[in-house]
Amino acid sequence: MVEESGLYYFMEIVSKPDNIPIVGMLILVLFFTWVGLRQALRNDRLTDEGREDEIPERMWK
């Protein structure tokens, strides 16, 4: 008898139709969190360099 791995059971749960929107939402939350943190770091660098007036210009690009 072959014992199934934990990944098998995880994929079994994730791929159920009720859970697919939740997985998609989790991916979107992670993506937009990454985008927001990336922009925040860029703005922090501009502020540290004394170029605060360029922040609104970059936000509109």
The residue among 5, 25, 14, 31 whose CA lies nearest residue 39 is 31
**C-alpha to C-alpha distance for 56 and 43, rounded to whole angstroms:** 9
Q: How many residues does the chain have?
A: 61
Q: Are 29 and 41 within 8 A, CB to CB?
A: no
Domain boundaries, the chain: 18-59
Per-residue pLDDT of the chain (61 residues; tens, 9 = 90+): 678 888 999 999 999 999 999 999 999 999 999 999 999 999 999 899 988 888 888 878 7
Report helix, strand or coil for 50.
Answer: coil
Q: Are 46 and 55 within 8 A, CB to CB?
A: yes
Tell me what pLDDT residue 53 has.
86
